[in-house]
Structure 1
Amino acid sequence: MDKVKVLAQYLPPDAAPLIGRWIDYFKCEFKISRNRGSKFGDYRAPHSGKGHRISVNFDLNPYAFLVTTVHEFAHLHTWNEHKHKAKPHGTEWKNNFKKMMQPFFEKEVFPPDVKHAITSYLNNPAASSCSDLTLYRSLRKYDAPKESVHTVEKLPLKALFKLKDGRVFRKEEKLRKRYKCIEVSTRRVYLFSPVAEVEVITEA
């Protein structure tokens, strides 16, 4: 199947042709990956005879898929220009991300709230990666509803929740930017991102 047709199944349709051209231009291996709980996408620089490689999780909504794809292509472009001399999310990467996002702004493929969040993120030097919470929250609004899945910040204090691996936690107070949570079986303390997705446990 034509790569643009495949990409259009995951991206806003108007964005697919340009991403297809980038894959060809940068001679990049582009993989649509299974869900990885710890990250949305990944870029790997040329190594051991392999060229540029980008992977993006298959289950992202179209806007999150596009933001993640541009994020990773900005890493590729920055590597081509600076190799290992540039910081992963430093000024060079941020400038490339902003520049590479521009065509999609011009095509108006993003809803206004997502465009505003991306713009704010790119103008905020304190934001270090796509884990920027304002941007993440704006993108999540376009996810398909998931039964029983909630973010930690939406749970009441002392609520019980579990992770995909089956471990059970109790939500405690917020400490700066993260929530203190106690693993029920071990009493160990963990810090959770406000937007971590968890399954609520209803106590009988």
Structure 2
Amino acid sequence: MPPEAAPLIGRWIDHFKCDFKISRTRGTKFGDYRAPFDGKGHRISVNYDLNAYAFLVTTVHEFAHLYTWNQHQHKVKPHGTEWKENFKKMMQPFFEKDVFPADIKLAITKYLNNPAASSCSDLNLYRSLRKYDAPKENIITVEKLPMQSLFKMKDGRVFRKDEKLRKRYKCTEVATRRVYLFSPVAEVEVVEQ
């Protein structure tokens, strides 16, 4: 995470008596919060391979869950109004410390108008955060592929990019001819035709 943010996150870990772990990459999520259960206290994990800014945003997201749980336990929705307010509040110190570059700060400010369950669902914020990732060889996002080009997923399945719908791309799996919808920011590998 950005060095200026670490002292505050450290204080949160101590204050909330939280078991904070840096986790292996999980394809389905960047971070996770677990409420106290069976003698274990609060637990937060964040994927190790996120860039510093994505790591911080994910960490604050998970701490907002912890703080909301302390206030309401299971009486509110995980990403409901209470969590949204806590997330906004908990992001504020990092704006005051000017931790984020201007483009990410602008994207987070827009995102904070109505935070979603995942920073991935806000494409503007996701794209801003991704600009600070280390380059990945042979990896491209679906939105940057030309129409009708072939690409493959990590599992080796090959798809053809067909058309853009409202927010997603309709793509056909070559082997089965089944149609799938892909996020524009899904990372794939180009297949030479």
TM-score, reference length from structure 1: 0.90
Distance in 2 separating the partners of 1:54 and 1:15 = 17
Distance in 2 separating the partners of 1:79 and 1:36 = 24
1:129 corresponds to 2:118: yes
Unaligned runs of 5+ in 1: 1-10
Shift of the alpha carbon at 1:48? 2.0
1:92 corresponds to 2:89: no
1:57 corresponds to 2:47: yes
Unaligned runs of 5+ in 2: none
- TM alignment of 1:40-119, pairs within 5 A: 40-119=30-109
Among all aligned residue pairs of Structure 1 and Structure 2, give the percentage whose two residues are the same amino acid.
Answer: 81
- TM alignment of 1:156-195, pairs within 5 A: 156-195=146-185
- Work out whether residues 45 and 76 of structure 1, in 8 Å CA contact, stay in contact via their aligned partners in 2: yes
Q: Cα deviations across residues 48-103 of structure 1 (Å, max 9, x unaligned)? A: 22211111110111000000000010011111111112212111111111110111
Select between 88-97 and 65-74 the one with higher mean Cα deviation: 88-97
Shift of the alpha carbon at 1:129? 3.1
Shift of the alpha carbon at 1:190? 1.0
1:120 corresponds to 2:71: no
Shift of the alpha carbon at 1:124? 3.2
Distance in 2 separating the partners of 1:45 and 1:182 = 40
- Work out whether residues 23 and 30 of structure 1, in 8 Å CA contact, stay in contact via their aligned partners in 2: yes
The runs of at least 4 aligned residues of structure 1 exceeding 3 Å deviation read none
Shift of the alpha carbon at 1:128? 4.5
- Work out whether residues 89 and 129 of structure 1, in 8 Å CA contact, stay in contact via their aligned partners in 2: no
TM-score, reference length from structure 2: 0.95
- Work out whether residues 130 and 136 of structure 1, in 8 Å CA contact, stay in contact via their aligned partners in 2: yes
Distance in 2 separating the partners of 1:138 and 1:196 = 15
Could you say what secondary structure the match of 1:84 adopts? Answer: helix
Could you say what secondary structure the match of 2:140 adopts? Answer: strand
Distance in 1 separating the partners of 2:188 and 2:37 = 36
Letter in 2 for 1:194: P
Distance in 2 separating the partners of 1:62 and 1:75 = 20
Shift of the alpha carbon at 1:147? 1.3
Query: How many equivalent residue pairs?
Result: 192
Distance in 1 separating the partners of 2:191 and 2:106 = 35
Letter in 2 for 1:129: S
Distance in 2 separating the partners of 1:79 and 1:117 = 27
